[in-house]
Every structure is written in C-alpha cells, then in structure tokens.
Amino acid sequence: MLEGVTMAVNVDEYLLHALKEDITSEDVTTNAILQKKEFGTVDLLCKQDGILAGIKVFQRVFELLGEVHLETSYQDGDPIYKGEKIGHLKGDMRVLLSGERTALNYLQRMSGIATLTYECVQILEGSKTQLLDTRKTTPNMRIFEKYAVKVGGGTNHRYNLSDGILLKDNHISAAGGIKKAVELARQYAPFIRKIEVEVENIDMVQEALEAGADIIMLDNMDNETMRQAVEIIGKQAQTECSGNITKERLLELREIGVDYISSGALTHSASILDFSLKNMMPIKRYAF
Amino acid sequence: MLEGVTMAVNVDEYLLHALKEDITSEDVTTNAILQKKEFGTVDLLCKQDGILAGIKVFQRVFELLGEVHLETSYQDGDPIYKGEKIGHLKGDMRVLLSGERTALNYLQRMSGIATLTYECVQILEGSKTQLLDTRKTTPNMRIFEKYAVKVGGGTNHRYNLSDGILLKDNHISAAGGIKKAVELARQYAPFIRKIEVEVENIDMVQEALEAGADIIMLDNMDNETMRQAVEIIGKQAQTECSGNITKERLLELREIGVDYISSGALTHSASILDFSLKNMMPIKRYAF
Amino acid sequence: MLEGVTMAVNVDEYLLHALKEDITSEDVTTNAILQKKEFGTVDLLCKQDGILAGIKVFQRVFELLGEVHLETSYQDGDPIYKGEKIGHLKGDMRVLLSGERTALNYLQRMSGIATLTYECVQILEGSKTQLLDTRKTTPNMRIFEKYAVKVGGGTNHRYNLSDGILLKDNHISAAGGIKKAVELARQYAPFIRKIEVEVENIDMVQEALEAGADIIMLDNMDNETMRQAVEIIGKQAQTECSGNITKERLLELREIGVDYISSGALTHSASILDFSLKNMMPIKRYAF
Amino acid sequence: MLEGVTMAVNVDEYLLHALKEDITSEDVTTNAILQKKEFGTVDLLCKQDGILAGIKVFQRVFELLGEVHLETSYQDGDPIYKGEKIGHLKGDMRVLLSGERTALNYLQRMSGIATLTYECVQILEGSKTQLLDTRKTTPNMRIFEKYAVKVGGGTNHRYNLSDGILLKDNHISAAGGIKKAVELARQYAPFIRKIEVEVENIDMVQEALEAGADIIMLDNMDNETMRQAVEIIGKQAQTECSGNITKERLLELREIGVDYISSGALTHSASILDFSLKNMMPIKRYAF
Amino acid sequence: MLEGVTMAVNVDEYLLHALKEDITSEDVTTNAILQKKEFGTVDLLCKQDGILAGIKVFQRVFELLGEVHLETSYQDGDPIYKGEKIGHLKGDMRVLLSGERTALNYLQRMSGIATLTYECVQILEGSKTQLLDTRKTTPNMRIFEKYAVKVGGGTNHRYNLSDGILLKDNHISAAGGIKKAVELARQYAPFIRKIEVEVENIDMVQEALEAGADIIMLDNMDNETMRQAVEIIGKQAQTECSGNITKERLLELREIGVDYISSGALTHSASILDFSLKNMMPIKRYAF
Amino acid sequence: MLEGVTMAVNVDEYLLHALKEDITSEDVTTNAILQKKEFGTVDLLCKQDGILAGIKVFQRVFELLGEVHLETSYQDGDPIYKGEKIGHLKGDMRVLLSGERTALNYLQRMSGIATLTYECVQILEGSKTQLLDTRKTTPNMRIFEKYAVKVGGGTNHRYNLSDGILLKDNHISAAGGIKKAVELARQYAPFIRKIEVEVENIDMVQEALEAGADIIMLDNMDNETMRQAVEIIGKQAQTECSGNITKERLLELREIGVDYISSGALTHSASILDFSLKNMMPIKRYAF
C-alpha cells in the first residue's frame, strides 16, 4: 500500500525529487500569472478505460507543494472509463498548476501498468496460474511499478537483489553446476530465503529437484517440454515460467498448469493510461 | 550528451540511486556464488532492430560498482539489428552480475525511446517540420528520456517548468486573457525566455499574435483550422502542434507545414528495445 | 517569489543545510540557559536605510526549527529606514535564539542586494534600459540572490548554464566563428531558447546579426562603438551591455539606448543591509 | 586548510551542489559547440591587487567535472597583482567552459575576504591585538569564508553554535543575570569549552569577572569605557571588542590594548577580488 | 536536550535513515495483516532496572511515520524498574507495528548507556571528580550516545575533532615535542578553544605546564605517578585521567583527586536496557 | 561480504557520514600540527583475543580520506590474539590521524560482535542447531552488525521488515488468529517469501502447522514444551527458538534439537574488541 508508513519512509523522497526535476528554480509561467495565493478548483478526468492506480501518490504530490485537497470516491484498483471525472481538487491555484504534470506523470504510468496487468490476469482467470512481475522496472520507479502490478491483480516477484535468491545460468556456471550453486546459496543466504533456480531443459529440472530448489524457473521452454517439466516437478517445488510472454502465450500456458508466469512487459512496455486536469476555476473563499 | 560534465554533475546520482533501489543490503545470489573477486567476460546482445541510446549510461552503471571495461564500436544513434553483438564487457564477475539488470533497464528504455522517435522523425523527413518531446516523461528519468529523444533525431522542448514559458488554457484564464498573460510573462520572466502561448481556435491565434507571442501552440485543432492558423501566423511566430499525435497524423501534419509537432508518447508510451547479457565466461588473468 | 511551491521544492533544503552548518550537534549556549521550552518575543529592527528582501525566508528559518510566529506589515520590496521596527517574533525562545543568526544572515544579504539593485535601477528610471544580473552569484545562494535582484527592480538574466544560450569568445573560437557557433547552437538547443552572442567590435556585430542572434551582448566597448552598435542593430536583436558597470557608467549607457545592462556587482559585491533582533522578553502564556 | 581530509569530508559536497545549481540538466552552450572531448588550455588572470585565497577550491571544482590540470606557482596567502597570470589550466575544454563560473565564484569571494582581512590586519600589525571573524557569514559558505579570513591573517572565532559558549544579552536576561548564566553554562557545556560573556558596561565587566568568564566581549563601548574595562580585566580573562568595526576604529582600538577585535564585515561585506579565464586555446595532444 | 531545535536540525535525519534501513520497500507483514488504517493502543514496558534515556527519540520515531500519541509521566533521567509501565502509545496500529523495533533500538541503547554512566557516577559521588565520555561512540550514533551519558550524570568531553584540541602522543612526536605542539595549536586554533595535552610521565607533565596547557590528560599512569602529577599540576591546569577505567579503578581514582576521568566503555561497551511493547489492543474510535 | 559492489552501493555513504559526524569543519589538532602533507606509518595492534571482523571497512575509512595503504595478512574471521600486530598502515599522516577514531570505532564494534557470536556458535558446534541474529541492531549499523554475525559463524535472520514475513503476537491478534494471518500473508506477500509464525504454546504450534507456516518461532517456552513442540513439528516446518538466550541456555537448547536459535544480544549487547594504532613514524619517501 503506497500510503501511511510506506509513503513517509519510502515514497516522499522520490516525489520530492521528481518535483525538483521539474522545478529547478521556480515555475516561471505560474509565478508570472499568479503573483499571490489564490484559490481554485480543477477536475481530474480520465481519458481512457482502464484500472486506476496511484491516486494517493497523485494526491501526495500536491500535498508536498502546499494546500490542496482532493475529493474522490475512487480508490486504487477501481475500473475507470473514458470521460469519467475521477476527482476534484481544490486549493492554492499555484500548487495545482505547478504540481499538475508531476502528479499526472505518476498516475498515468501507474494506471497504465495496472491496466495491462489486469488484462493479462483476466486471461489467467479461473486457472491456478498467477502472474508475476520482474526486476525489469524503470530505474527509480520500482516501488511505484511493483505496487501497480499488485493493484492490477498481479503478484510481486522478489523486490530486488537483496531479498531473493535466483540462480540463473551465469550463477550456475560460475558455481560449477546446479547442485553446487544451491548448496552455496543455502549456506550463504539468510535462513528465511527460498531458493529459486533457472533451468532450460529436463535434465536441469532433475538436477534442481535433487538439489532441493524451492522454486524452479522454466526459461524459454517450448510447450511440450514445459508440460513435461511441470509433471516431473509435481508438488516438490513451485514452478515459474518466464521469457517473452505475450497474451496468446498466456492462454497456452494456463493450460499447462505452471504455478507462476513472470512478465517483464508489465512494467517495461506498458503504455500510460491518459488523464488530464481540466476546468480550472478560481473560487472566492476556501476552506478544507 | 550524457557523458563528461553532465554525467558527473547530473547523472551519477540517479544511477547510484537506482543501484541502491536494486541492492538494499547486498546481492545475495552473487555473493553466495562468488565469494571472492574473479574475472570474466560477457557479451551485450541486441534482440530487436532499433536505434542505440544510452551506451555510456550502461557502461557507467558498471563503473560505479567496480572494475569493468566495455569494448564496443557502437555509439548512441547507431542503427542496430536483432542478434548483433553490441559490446563485450570484461571485469569483476560480481560487478557484471550485480549491475546487469540496472544497466539494461536504462539501456532498454533509452533505446526504446530513441527507436520510436526515429520512426516518427522518418515520417517527417524532407519536410520542414520537426518533432518535439514534452514534459510527459517518467519521474526521475527526464534527463535520460529527453536525451534519448535527441538521439532518435527529435528536438527537445523546454526541459522543465523553470526554463520555458508556456501559457496554457488555465494560465490564460487565471490571467484574464492572452494579452494580459503575455504581458505578465514578459514582465516577470528572465529576459532570455521566449514566450509560448497555447491556442485552440483562430481568434486565439489572432490574440496571441497581437500580444507578441514568440511561439504559438495549436492544440487539438482539426486539419483545416490548423492550416488556416499556420497561414495567418506566417513568419510572425513559430508554430507547434500538439495533442494525440499518431504516426498517421504525422503524415497529414507534415503537409500543413507546422514548424514543430510535440508528442508525449515518445517518452510515456515507447516500448523498450530488448537487449541481454549472454555468454559469461570466467577468464584467468585480467588486465585493462 | 520565494514562498509557496518554490519554498517547498527549492528553498527549504538550503535553509536546513545552513542551519546544520551553524548547529552541528546542538546550540550549547541556548540549551544551557533554557533547559525547557519557554515563550518570549523579540523585535526585528532595521539598522540602515534600504529595500527589504527575504522576509519570508527569514520567517521560514524559524518555522523549520519550531513554534515561532512573525507579525509584520512589511513585504519584500518595501523601502525601510534605519531604526524602524520591521517585525515582531513570538514563540519558543530557544528557537528565537538558535535561529537568529542564520535568519539574519539571509535577510541581510538579500536586502543588501535589493538595495544596491534599487539604487542602480533608479539611475536608469525613465529610460528604456533595464538592469540585469549575472551568474556571478555566491555559490549555493543563487536562488536567493537572483530573487533579491528582482525585488530591487532588476531583471533576471538566465538562471544557469542549462536554461540559456550565451556564446562567449571562447565558444566562438572553439566553434570557428560566430556564424558556425550560432548554427551549432540552433541545431543543438531546445527550440524554446533564445540565442545570445557576445561581441567586441562592429565587425562581430555584423556577423552576429547575419547569423540571426536573438540577443547581442556588447562587451567592454567604448561609448562611441556601443552607440554605433546599437544603431546598426536597431530592432533586429536585443542588446545587452556588460563589463565593469559603475553607477557613473550607468548614466552614460542610459543615453546610448542599449536594451539591457548586466552587472555582476549586484550579487558579488553588495554590502549587507544591517538588521538585528532586540528586546527579547519572556512571556507568560503563548497562543498563536 | 581546505585540502586533503577537509576537502574530502566537508568541502566536496558544497562544490558539487554549487555545480548542480549552475547545471541543472546540461551546459547547453558548451555542449552545442563541443560535441566531443577536445583538449585546450586557458589562463587564470588576476584583475585586481590583493591576497590569493581558494586556489585549491578553484582547482577542485574542475577536478570534480573531469580531466583538468592546474599549473601554478602561487599558493593561498600570496599577494597578487592586477594583470598577473596566476595559473594555467589544461584539459577537456568542455570542463574548462562548464566549470569556469563556479570555480571563479569561489575564488573571487574567498580572495576578496582574504584581501579585506589582510588590510585590517595590517592596521593592527605590531600590536598585541588580533582580528577575529564572526558567524555573520554567507549561508552555506562558512567553511570557505572562515578559511579565507585565516588566509588573510585573521583568527577564527567559534565556528558555530555547537563549539563555543557565548552568553549574549538575551541569554543573560533569560538566565537572570551573568552569574547565573555562567553557572548554567559551566554545568551544561562540554568541559573543554571556554565561556565567553558579552558585557556593555563596567558593572557587567565586574560581574563577568566574578562569575569566572574566560573571555569577556566588550560590546559597543566608547573608547574610554573600553580602556577602563581592559584595565580592570587585566590578565583575569581575555578581552574581545565587537560592534561596527571600521578601519579608523581599528587604529583607536589597537591603542587600547584589547586582545581581540571581531568584525562581521570581513565576511558579510567584502567585495570580491576579480579574476578571469582568458586565452582559451585548443591543443592537439594532451597528457598530464 | 534531544528535542526542539536539536531534534529538527540534527536528529530527524538519523531517525528517518534508520527507518529506511528497516523498511526498504514496505513492512510486508504489517501491510498484509492491516490493509487499512485501524487504531489501537500498546504499552511500553521496562524489563530491567535502570535510568531512562531517549523517551523523546522513541516518540519521534513514531511521529515520523504517522499518527501516534505517547502518554507518559516519565522523563529522561528518571530511575525505572523492571515491570513498570513507562508509557502508553495510541494511534495507527500499522505505525505502531512498523516503528516498534527502530524506536526500541534507540531507547534500549540510550537507556543502557545512561544506566552504566549512572552506576559509575554513583561511585564518584561526593568527590570533586567528574566522569567524561570519549569519541569511542558507535558510528552515526554520537549525538544519541553523548546525550545518554549526560542523562546518566556524566559530562561530555569534546564532541568531535572539530571542536576541541587534544594533542596526543602522535601529534606531539609529529610536532617535535609538547612545547612546539602547544605553540602550533595556539596559533592555529580558533581562539575559543582550550588546549589539552596527553602525557605519560612526570617529565611530560612539567613540559605541558610550561607550555601552558589548559588541560592535562594523564594517560595510563599508575596510582602513585598520578597522585604526584595531580599534586604538581595543582590549579595550573585541569586534569583528566584516561585508560581502561573499571569500576574498581574509579574508587582508587576518586581518592587521588583528579578533576575528570574519561571512559570509552560508557559508550562502546554498555549493554542495552531491555524494554518491550506489549498488550496491543484495537480501539474503536480515536482522538488525540 | 563488505567489499566490492556492496561497499560501493551500501557502505560508503555510512562511512562518509560517520566521518562527517567526527569532522564537522576540520580536524583542528591535526591541521595545527601538520600544515602540509607528510608521510608516515603506524601499526594496528590487537589488545584482546577474539575474531577479526571489519578489516576492509577499517581500510576503506582511510581510503575515503586520502592516500593510505594497509598491509595485512589477516582477513575477516581470523582468530587474533592480544598483542598481535594486525596490520601496518602507511600514507599521509594527516589522514592517519584524522581517520583513526572512526576506523577503529567500526573495527572494534564489528570484531566485538564477531567474537561474541563465535563463542556462542562454539557451544552449538557438532549439533544441527544454528545461531541467528535479530533486528535488534544499533540504528544505522545493521549492515555492519549482521555481517559481523556471519563472520563469527552465525546465520542471518531476515535483514529487515521488507524482506521477511514474521507474524508475531500482535499481528496474529490483529488478523484474528494464526490461520487468518497466514492466509493474509500468503495472499499479500511476494511469492518468494517464506512465512514464519511466532507461537507460545502447543496449541499455537498445531494451528501454525495447519496454516502451513514455513518456519515456527518458539517464543519463551520452557524446555519441556519446546521439546514437545519440536517433536510435533518434525520436518513439517523449520523451528526457531527465541527469548533471552544465555550461554547456559544454549547448551540446553542444543539438546532439544531446535533448528535455529536467535539472539538479540549478539548485536545489542556485545562489548567491543579493543584495538589501537601505535608507533606512528614519519617516513621520508613514500610509494604505494
């Protein structure tokens, strides 16, 4: 949840930095036009169908700048439709104008990711297979993007290199085989970690099972091999399928019965969901 | 250019922060497998056709982590093709493994933007019309994304709210009309600023001209109105067209002869260009 | 305006850093004397005639430290006179004592710059010539110093190296002449930038005009040459005169009719305007 | 000494921040003209007589940006004269151009302060009286300004509120008299601190002596009172005179035999000492 | 006092950093269980006898995270006993759960140091000898640990290398003897500094006295030598004894009549004082 | 491993901050004595028997300050003995003097923790039971303290609140029972997380097993109950014992056959291991 403690400890600094990126000395245009504090209102409009994500981040951007209040009956995860009025902001008009772009940049990207995730999750609906994200996120956006995946119905894979063990091809060859790699990981890692191993064929599946992997990632396998792998593994480990996941491929994979499918595209290639602030109106008096 | 002074002053802090996002205590997997420094090499492979952007950022990520050397004959702006080997990294294998994802996340996003920009610029080739980006960039990625637009052949609009005057609908209504808004801006703004005004119809074009706008943004006009606007404006101001620019629309707009077309999609909705690090090989001795 | 959004995004961090510079562990003297919170009041007195600048910065320093309220009927730009009581602070006496020096250091320097600027602007009063600042500001004080120039009636030149093009002698020789330099700048720079060229003689003026410079800086010219330059340029470009501007020289230059005169001394050699906090009095009860 | 450990721990962050203040995205002008690394040289010229201070800070600014080497036979404290060539820089021309203003802004301000300090110290030459600075420094410039005072021959007063006890009028009244204030300070403060008390008349001098003050600050006294105070105090405490110190007043005060005179003007009202970078020349090959 | 100005300027950043150390993305456990804001209460219990230190730091950790109110009748320095309820927290349960460990880590360490200090100070009770801390503090904990020493009845030695002169063996040999070292220090240091010299035998005591040292540190001397040193020094300088101070040794040293005894163990080897948060209860409505 | 990538990304900032804590303007003593760079050597001596931890952190502190080289044949984990010379530093004497305390503060604390851990691990030697640390670390020291535990032969529990699920009493009651809590955690948490549940009696053990907990923490149980719990759990989950672990208790617990024992005392109550820098000697020439 991007609110409360998480906002205070891990989010505010990103928002403030993004504001500094957009305002390095002052907002020249706004300060030219409004040389003193005046109050006004503006509407947040949705311009495409999708899933809302990031409404509290959107709101927080304005709060960091000054006196602004958001009225909305929507919350993250709600389906929204083109043309809907999602919220109504009132407050210092200079804050509304200066914060608009940064607030929308977060909201649009997060809602875009939630929307794409939701579409993919719908395809898996009714199966046991769950959709995972990856570490292929935009730099300095991970906390926002992984949260958006969750809002869209996806499940988060490890957050970063510090909180999960994933032995990939390069680690395995550096260690001298799956068995040795798993052993080294088990000795080294905090005891609370599960160990995941990436495999490419049935022999490696066997090795991973013998080594005692908790999760086995089936990487770039054809359907037949994957089906075989899933059968061999059974309940001995969890299975994750990865590699160029398209919507069509999701349909095939749900039949195979893999536990998890991970998709980098959720975060690295989602289009934004479009919003705008419209109908700014000065208001005479102002009270929260 | 994302190198030299710009790298030292404005880029390194983002890269280091992105690395901290991915490594909050240590890279558990890599440190489990490689408990001391060992040298190796790995190839940077391109997995889609496109335009390369961010190769020095990619390299810098590794340099911030330790001893790694990149050999490459490519530079930003080069066309690259699926399957090509773009570079060869050698150095501390732990650095190669721990930096891989962050380095690729930058390279992929920047090359994706450069590629989309290049495709759009091709459509305008031969006309006088130039392609602009917007402030609809991913938070904390602006310096990378605007640079990628330039690599792809685009032109940068203002960097942020502090270095350009753009009077939009809300500013104009707050000021009480275009004339008043331009006057306020001229009085307030640093003398080195051009003044741009957003207009929606022919009357507003006239007003903007009379007020002495340096640039007039024609927002969401139909082709006929835009043609008329361009004619009226002539050489009295520069013209910029904005609003939901698709590739098809670019073709129409190049005929109308607007000076600039701005597109938010270049930065907010480009897919990444896919790369990977492959063929890691330990090497016995190592020298730069 | 150093308030609102600008304060939140760009000013607070400087103020907090300045406070950390003055208090690296604790204010030993104040904490020795006042070991618990006690309320009091103190007066802000002006000790020299001048122009007030930075009153909200002064106030903000205390607010960052704790509970303090400033009562004042003055605002930035007001003429103030020796002996006047500019404001009345009430609040936590430890905050008043610990914040005093940092708050005054800002107020004194900003008011000193506003005062010097005002004196220079008075000399140009009635002419079309406007007074500009430069980038010769005290490091990490630019936002305060450029604002003070504006409060004193001056106009801001570019804020920094990122938001204006100014081709000086070294750039011109590196590029191989004015024409080439302007061309390179036009290709490279964001389209919203004006291009300014520094020239030293009439030939260079001609070159700059032919190259299409938006602004021409007449550097260290004698009056006769400058007069000639201004005449040649006419309305084809704006003119800026720079180089060792004294008050006497301002009188001569206003006659020549240059558009702008820039002066580094406004920010690098203004004396402070003296203020002090006096008459601290404990108060029994306290309410905002 | 602003070099070595002090530079690494306490100075670099200010220099880097000042560079970020001047380059918020990139140096547009320089990057337009020099699109790849080219080497060149430039001279550092002195334009006024004075005392050099800050040459290593000047040099460090360039080093933070890239490859630049300074050749100079001057060091801080050297007298320098108008027209002298103080140093010769060679290196990446983009670094020379982008760092020029920030490097000069430090050098000019520091040398200006050292020069003014030197002039005042000369007046006291031969007497036992030493010249002190104050905390009236420019915010975020204290480490540079106090060092410059030392270079000019002055002595530093306490660095900040954390490392010295100075009981001023407000502290004394809050504590209920000098005796009580000194007692509280002695109990509270780290044992290594001297205790200084500000007094305004002879009665207070007596009180301060009885309370056991280590240093007595004679604030705004006329010459006769000060002479009497100095006599009474004798060797029981050190004496410091403060308040609107002009050069004329220094002459009078040296006769009275006070131990120290403190002057805020040294740091808050010194003009800069003018320098410039001239004669940039491209060079073919480059080696340190 | 760790509150007010000191908290705002020097403490908050440490607390926030410590929270970021414990929450790098989100508190997964708490957010899983409490997916929206719910109010509750919890008790702060003391599990060992000792001296309370850091109660406002404890409270501030929660305030930085959200809405939490602490009710307590205890303040720093109070003796507390095993089983006592020290305070009652009410507020957002997610804040209570997420902040618990960090808040307790500060409180436990600070109270542990205050308790050990108090025990040592008791041994010296009735003598003129005071107990000092050292710079042997835990990195990035000095402000908390030195404050805890003071709460326990100890006196602070210099805060750091910038605010005290202490000439140790290595400085003395580098300078070429005590006399030369003291001379160099007196010339170089801010005039407000006392000068302390470390000596190991009676000859060095003599030298230090002749050089005019303000404080003489008697390092690792046996009781007989120390007694002799104290006698020789008399009132000419303050005396400090250092080196492996145990409680037994304190008893001997108080007889010798040294002014100060410094002990690194106070900060580097104190055990924590144990506290816990217990009896969490949801509450229906909530008001401060 | 506190070296390489981890040092660059996660450690350097702590070291630099600790240096800033100790040097807020300059090291007055050292700079007074050594006004220019002079080279010297000094020995690192061990003053107590124990386990070495943090030697690269010790070295890195000096490297951040300037030119210093450490020669040593010891590495972390080596047993060391009172009186041994652990290393020999050579380089800029000002760096040696100014960095000494901070470098030792890290080394002493880390080695103290490693030594205590080692002693406890010895008691468990030969059994299957492993020793765990906790989150009861000193604020802003976790990365150093958890590493020291590992050096001493311990195993790390979760690093922080973001990378492990641990359902404690308060979470369980907030969720309404163990079953519900585990369910919520499984739904919410990244799929790579194991789920640990804290239980206090046999009924709760049963509940935790039925809920499918991966790890069961047996909190403050008597030996008999714990034995029973371990038997019931068998291989269905891992077992962790926590709560006031003394060395005596370790002996009893190893017999019961619990998988893990966690001890807060390892990090919150270890005494330091004493080291010192001795025998500083100037050297004429210097080369790495």
Portion 93-122 of C in contact with D at CB < 8 A: 93, 97-98, 101-102, 104-106, 108-109, 112
- Cβ–Cβ gap A191/F260 under 8 Å: yes
CA distances from A266 to A112, A135, A262, B35, B264 (A): 9, 11, 9, 34, 20
Three-state DSSP class for E57?
Answer: helix
User: Given a cut of 90, is residue C270 above it in pLDDT?
Assistant: yes
Q: Are C78 and C51 spatial neighbours (Cβ–Cβ below 8 Å)?
A: yes
The verdict on E280 touching A (C-beta cutoff 8 Å) is no
Token pair 């990294």: residue: B89
Report the 10 Å Cβ neighbour count for A49. 13
- Cβ–Cβ gap F4/B92 under 8 Å: yes
Given this model, what pLDDT does residue A288 score? 46
Mean pLDDT of C54-62: 98
The verdict on F193 touching A (C-beta cutoff 8 Å) is yes
pLDDT tens digits for range D71-88: 999 999 999 999 999 999
**What element of type H or E holds E237?**
none
Write out chain D residues lying below 8 Å of B162, CB-based: 24
pLDDT tens digits for range A147-180: 999 999 999 999 999 999 999 998 998 899 999 9
Portion 13-32 of C in contact with F at CB < 8 A: 24-25
Nearest CA-CA distance, residue F107 and chain B, Å: 19
Write out chain A residues lying below 8 Å of C160, CB-based: 24-25
Nearest CA-CA distance, residue E71 and chain B, Å: 35
Nearest to F107 by CA among F87, F137, F131, F134: F87
pLDDT tens digits for range D173-215: 889 999 999 999 999 988 889 999 999 999 999 999 999 999 9
> Which member of D157, D158, D192 has the closest CB to residue E158?
D192
DSSP 8-state secondary structure symbol assigned to residue D193:
B
Given this model, what pLDDT does residue F189 score? 87
Beta strand residue intervals within chain C, DSSP E: 39-46, 50-51, 68-71, 79-80, 85-92, 130-132, 165-167, 195-199, 215-219, 238-242, 260-262, 275-282
Portion 155-174 of B in contact with F at CB < 8 A: none
D-contacting chains (≥3 CB pairs under 8 Å): A, B, C, E, F
Provide the residue-wise pLDDT of chain B in tens; the chain has 288 residues: 788 999 999 999 999 999 999 999 999 999 999 988 999 999 999 999 999 999 999 999 999 999 999 999 999 999 999 999 999 999 999 999 999 999 999 999 999 999 999 999 999 999 999 999 999 999 999 999 999 999 999 999 999 999 999 999 989 988 989 999 999 999 998 888 999 999 999 999 999 999 999 999 999 899 999 999 999 999 999 999 998 788 888 988 989 999 999 999 999 999 999 999 999 998 876 554
> Which member of C155, C159, C191 has the closest CB to residue B260?
C191
Given the residues A27, A76, A219, A240, the one annotated as active site: A219
User: Given a cut of 50, is residue D288 above it in pLDDT?
Assistant: no
DSSP 8-state secondary structure symbol assigned to residue D51:
E
The verdict on D9 touching C (C-beta cutoff 8 Å) is no
Given the residues F101, F142, F193, F254, the one annotated as active site: F101
Mutate one of D3, D5, D137, D146 to test the F interface: name it (highest F CB count within 10 A): D5
- Cβ–Cβ gap C35/E9 under 8 Å: no
Radius of gyration of chain A (CA): 23
ipTM score assigned to the predicted complex: 0.96
The verdict on B73 touching A (C-beta cutoff 8 Å) is no
Three-state DSSP class for A218?
Answer: strand
The percent helix, strand, coil of chain C (3-state, each to 5) is 45, 20, 35
F101 part of the active site: yes
Q: How far apart are CA D155 and CA D117, in angstroms?
A: 10
Given the residues C100, C133, C145, C198, the one annotated as active site: C198
User: Given a cut of 50, is residue E115 above it in pLDDT?
Assistant: yes
- Closest Cα in chain A to D21: A24
Assign D124 a pLDDT band (cuts: 50, 70, 90): very high
Write out chain F residues lying below 8 Å of C25, CB-based: 24
Given this model, what pLDDT does residue A285 score? 62
Cross-strand bridge partners of residue F241: F218, F261
pTM as predicted: 0.97
- Closest Cα in chain B to C159: B190
Q: How far apart are CA E44 and CA E274, in angstroms?
A: 11
- Closest Cα in chain F to D141: F25
Q: How far is CA A112 from the centre of its chain?
A: 10
Q: For a pLDDT cut of 90, what percent of chain D falls above it?
A: 88
> Which member of E9, E159, E163 has the closest CB to residue C20?
E9
Given this model, what pLDDT does residue A31 score? 96
Portion 52-71 of B in contact with D at CB < 8 A: none
B168 part of the active site: yes
Q: How far apart are CA B243 and CA B260, in angstroms?
A: 12
Q: How far apart are CA E108 and CA C184, in angstroms?
A: 64
User: Given a cut of 60, is residue A286 above it in pLDDT?
Assistant: no
Number of B–C residue contacts, CB under 8 Å: 56
Write out chain C residues lying below 8 Å of D166, CB-based: 29
Given this model, what pLDDT does residue C190 score? 82
The verdict on F255 touching E (C-beta cutoff 8 Å) is no
Provide the residue-wise pLDDT of chain F in tens; the chain has 288 residues: 789 999 999 999 999 999 999 999 999 999 999 988 999 999 999 999 999 999 999 999 999 999 999 999 999 999 999 999 999 999 999 999 999 999 999 999 999 999 999 999 999 999 999 999 999 999 999 999 999 999 999 999 999 999 999 999 989 988 999 999 999 999 998 888 999 999 999 999 999 999 999 999 999 899 999 999 999 999 999 999 998 788 888 988 999 999 999 999 999 999 999 999 999 998 876 554
State whether the Cα torsion D136-D140-D143-D145 is positive or negative.
Answer: negative
> Which member of F35, F37, F65 has the closest CB to residue D8?
F65
B278 part of the active site: no
> Which member of D5, D10, D162 has the closest CB to residue F66?
D5
Residue C80 contacts by C-beta under 8 Å, 6 or more apart in sequence?
C46, C49, C50, C51, C52, C74, C86, C111
Residue B57 contacts by C-beta under 8 Å, 6 or more apart in sequence?
B2, B11, B15, B103, B106, B107, B110, B144
C136 part of the active site: yes
Assign C288 a pLDDT band (cuts: 50, 70, 90): very low
Strands C215-219 and E195-199: unpaired
pLDDT tens digits for range A7-35: 999 999 999 999 999 999 999 999 999 98
Mean pLDDT of C257-275: 96
> Which member of C155, C190, C192 has the closest CB to residue B191?
C155
Q: Are A157 and A177 spatial neighbours (Cβ–Cβ below 8 Å)?
A: no
> Which member of B163, B194, B260 has the closest CB to residue C162?
B163
DSSP 8-state secondary structure symbol assigned to residue D216:
E
Given this model, what pLDDT does residue F288 score? 47
Given this model, what pLDDT does residue E288 score? 46
- Closest Cα in chain B to E24: B24
Residue F234's Cβ-count burial label (10 Å; 0-12, 13-18, 19+) is: exposed
- Closest Cα in chain F to D143: F25
Given the residues C133, C207, C219, C240, the one annotated as active site: C219
User: Given a cut of 70, is residue C287 above it in pLDDT?
Assistant: no
Query: pLDDT averaged over chain A?
Result: 95
Given the residues B63, B92, B196, B198, the one annotated as active site: B198
Q: How far apart are CA E13 and CA E15, in angstroms?
A: 5
C82 part of the active site: no
**What element of type H or E holds E238?**
strand E238-242
- Closest Cα in chain D to E151: D188
Given this model, what pLDDT does residue B133 score? 97
Q: For a pLDDT cut of 90, what percent of chain C falls above it?
A: 87
> Which member of B132, B155, B192 has the closest CB to residue C164?
B192
Q: Are B286 and B90 spatial neighbours (Cβ–Cβ below 8 Å)?
A: yes
